[in-house]
């Protein structure tokens, strides 16, 4: 995975992985549908009649939609099951509903511990029911820890960025205030100099008193 992806918050990593597996699964399903319709006469059609594909078709007939969902927790078998679903012309809407659940599980696992580590853990846990319970507890803890750490890291990055933006905004405001004060002082000094230059007394005029005199 690229470094930028490893450092991404969990929601972003999950969304990217979900989109990738969604497109791949749908494409594989529709390839199977095309082979059934006789639109493809290539090596793909040969692969569709292989013993492995035959086993996947038999498994789909036996287990139905749940197999589509569970196949996303496997390595390699996922592609065969999606193609087999198209090959037997499984209704698209029902297939897609089961596929979406599998896509979400695959993306969540791959965005945290990785699908290979998940497979190895399942093989180990199959030896004992208690080991399976412990594994599920550990996986849940790891998932929560990863999500929390990524969320905290994202908040710290956002907080640092916000602090830098606030600091820059404060400096901009201070410069604007300083320029405004400088402009006001310059205007006052200019008016005073102009008054002295024309020789006029800009003080308030004297007040006329009763009897004709001035105060």
CB of 35 closer than 8 Å to CB of 45: yes
- Taking alpha carbons only, the member of 149, 132, 196 closest to residue 6 is 149
- Taking alpha carbons only, the member of 91, 81, 96, 93 closest to residue 23 is 96
What is the per-residue pLDDT for 92?
A: 95
What is the per-residue pLDDT for 193?
A: 46
Ranges of residues in the chain whose predicted pLDDT is under 70: 1-7, 39-42, 45, 113-136, 139, 160-169, 171, 173, 176-215
Q: Which two tokens stand for residue 15?
A: 């969304």
Q: Secondary structure of the chain: what % helix, strand, coil (to 5)?
A: 80, 0, 20
Residue spans per domain, the chain:
3-111, 114-188
pLDDT digits (tens, 9 = 90+) for 91-114: 999 999 999 999 998 888 888 766
What is the per-residue pLDDT for 179?
A: 66
pTM recorded for the entire structure: 0.55
Residue 90 backbone dihedrals phi, psi, to 5 degrees = -60, 135
Residue 113 backbone dihedrals phi, psi, to 5 degrees = -90, -20
pLDDT digits (tens, 9 = 90+) for 10-36: 788 889 999 999 999 999 999 988 887
What is the per-residue pLDDT for 28?
A: 93
What is the per-residue pLDDT for 185?
A: 55
CB of 106 closer than 8 Å to CB of 24: no
The whole-angstrom separation of Cα 63 and Cα 70 is 10
């Amino acid at each position: 995975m690229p470094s930028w992806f490893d450092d991404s918050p969990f929601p972003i990593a999950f969304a990217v992985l979900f989109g990738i597996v969604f497109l791949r699964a749908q494409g594989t399903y529709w390839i199977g549908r095309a082979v059934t319709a006789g639109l493809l006469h290539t090596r793909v059609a040969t692969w569709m009649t292989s013993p492995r594909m035959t086993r996947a078709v038999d498994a789909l007939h036996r287990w139905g939609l749940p197999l589509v969902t569970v196949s996303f927790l496997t390595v390699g078998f996922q592609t065969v099951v999606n193609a087999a679903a198209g090959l037997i012309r499984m209704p698209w809407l029902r297939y897609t509903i089961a596929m979406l659940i599998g896509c979400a599980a695959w993306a969540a696992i791959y965005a945290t511990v990785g699908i290979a580590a998940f497979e190895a853990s399942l093989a180990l846990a199959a030896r004992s029911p208690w080991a399976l319970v412990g594994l599920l507890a550990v996986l849940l803890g790891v998932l929560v820890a990863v999500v929390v750490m990524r969320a905290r890291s994202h908040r710290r990055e956002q907080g640092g960025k916000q602090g830098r933006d606030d600091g820059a905004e404060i400096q901009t405001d201070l410069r604007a205030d300083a320029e405004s004060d400088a402009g006001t002082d310059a205007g006052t000094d200019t008016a005073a100099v102009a008054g002295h230059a024309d020789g006029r007394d800009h003080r308030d005029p004297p007040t006329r008193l009763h009897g004709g005199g001035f105060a």
